[in-house]
Amino acid sequence: MGTAGKVIKCKAAVLWEPNTPFSIEEIEVAPPKAKEVRIKILATGICRTDDHVIKGVMVSNFPVIMGHEGAGVVESIGDGVTTVKPGDKVIPLFLPQCRECNACLNPDGNLCIKIDLTGRGVLDDGTSRFTCKGKTVYNFAGTSTFTEYTVVDEFAVAKIDDAAPLEKVCLIGCGFSTGYGAAIKTGKTNSLNSSPPCPDLVRQHGWKRTWQMINSREVTPGSTCAVFGLGGVGLSVIMGCKLAGASRIIGIDLNKGKFEKAMAVGATECISPKDFTKPINEVLSEMTGNNVSFSFEVIGRLDTMVDALASCHMNYGTSVVVGAPPSAKMLTCNPMLLFTGRTWKGCIFGGWKSRDDVPKIVTDFLARKFDLDQLITHSLPFTKIQEGFELLYSGQSIRTVLTF
């Protein structure tokens, strides 16, 4: 291609400092160095995590180009890149997979050591490829998708099927996979005290399948789930719970405007904590006969993380923290919540091994195993990114997809 090896000038949404609007700027994107890939971004979703950085709740270096839920086409590759080539459709991965660290080598792990959890905002070699008005502009999450062109490390990009519609599968880069994986991979109860005792499961599926389900970390069929937060990620948790065969899925949100969509994707009922004077865990316990096996916090608040923990069964319940916690904040809770046997866990990117699993999730989407249209409520041209964030703040959007 004509641009390979050259600096590309293009448009990007730069955030010069926290709590300011995006500024659409002309930036320079340097060519990819060895083991790096330059991507022409064609679609990107807006996720609440991006907003956490705007609000300063999550740390980042500034100025920064955010965005981590994108899809595009490889424009050029640096020396030594073997897994993608120019013209390939790809999804950049905020959770990389280097295939060498302990987490990558462990079949149960996915938190690759190369992830940028501390907001350094640089590629693996310690520098950024972006400049604007003579200044270095930092990366976000190793992806930076709010730009016409980005550069990522080879370990942070997955080649996907050529037939994939990028304006939909971009959601597989974060929101959908995060929620869906939290339910079908991470949400399993601790294997010794969970489902084997359930004779119904064994009767229905036989011991072999029951054992497989237990070991494959799925939400178990017939179980009751509670999902706190009905944004794009929470709705994806519901879709995963439904696919795993949960029989009751209770959505919890302060915004009742989210209930209709939650029911459409699989919630069996929805409640707002505002309608009750009792603590929400007591409400859920009464509703279910004290039988929530799995709860998910998909908001990113400390109080709701503890509420979700208290809501799952005191002995065999599992609660999964999916919402991104605010940086440098401490949780306080009654340790009795854990002493009685509950399992409390979290997951980043739904527990998926990103480079291995993202192409498979895209293939499952093309095979219509799940529907992403339900999550996409708005589409806007990239330059209207600020409007996309306003839709998130007003609670009107689930996912806005920006196209280039």
Binding interface with Zn ion (CB under 5 A): 47, 49, 174
- Return the beta strands (E) in 289-367 as ranges: 294-297, 318-321, 343-346
- By a kind-dependent CB cut-off of 5 to 8 A, residue 349 interacts, out of ligand CND, Zn ion, none, with ligand CND
59 in contact with ligand CND (CB under 6 A): no
CB 32 within 8 A of CB 153: no
| Binding of ligand CND by 258 (CB under 6 A) | yes
Q: Report the residue number, 221 or 232, with the smaller CB distance to ligand CND.
A: 232
Nearer to Zn ion, 38 or 399 (CB): 399
Q: By rule CB under 6 A, what string of x and - marks binding of each residue 295-334 to ligand CND?
A: ---xxxx--x-----------------xxx----------
39 binds, options Zn ion, ligand CND, none, Cβ within 5 to 8 A by partner type:
none
Alpha helices in 190-275 (DSSP H): 199-215, 232-243, 259-265
> Is residue 63 a contact point for ligand CND (CB under 6 A)?
no
389 binds ligand CND (CB under 6 A): no
> Based on CB atoms, which residue is closest to Zn ion, 52 or 342?
52
54 binds ligand CND (CB under 6 A): no
User: Is residue 206 a contact partner of residue 340, using CB atoms and an 8 Å limit?
Assistant: no
CA-to-CA distance for 190 and 182, rounded, in angstroms?
14
Q: What is the smallest separation between the CB atom of 254 and ligand CND, expressed in angstroms?
A: 4
By CB under 6 A, residue 253 contacts ligand CND:
yes
d(CA 58, CA 116): 12
Q: How far is the CB of 265 from ligand CND (least distance, A)?
A: 13
The answer to the question of residue 234 lying near ligand CND (CB under 6 A) is yes
Which backbone phi and psi does 153 adopt, to 5 degrees?
-70, 150
Name the DSSP letter for residue 155: G
Using the rule CB under 6 A, which residue among 96, 142, 187, 232 binds ligand CND? Answer: 232
CA pair distance 357, 352, nearest whole angstrom: 6
Which amino acid does the sequence have at 122? V
* Binding partner at 88 among ligand CND, Zn ion, none, C-beta below 5 to 8 Å by kind: none
Write out 254-310 in H/E/C secondary structure.
CCHHHHHHHHHHCCCEEECHHHCCCCHHHHHHHHHCCCCCEEEECCCCHHHHHHHHH
Compute the distance between CA of residue 179 and CA of residue 318 in angstroms, rounded to an integer: 15
Task: Characterise 363 by phi-psi region: left (phi > 0), alpha (psi -120 to 50), beta (else).
Answer: alpha
The site for ligand CND, by CB under 6 A, has a size of 31
Distance CA 37, CA 403 (A): 21
Binding to ligand CND by residue 57, rule CB under 6 A?
A: no
Closer by beta carbon to ligand CND, 32 or else 232: 232
Q: Is residue 141 at the binding interface for ligand CND, with CB under 6 A as the rule?
A: no
User: What are the residues binding ligand CND (CB under 6 A)?
Assistant: 47-49, 52, 174-175, 178, 228-234, 252-255, 258, 273, 298-301, 304, 322-324, 348-349, 395
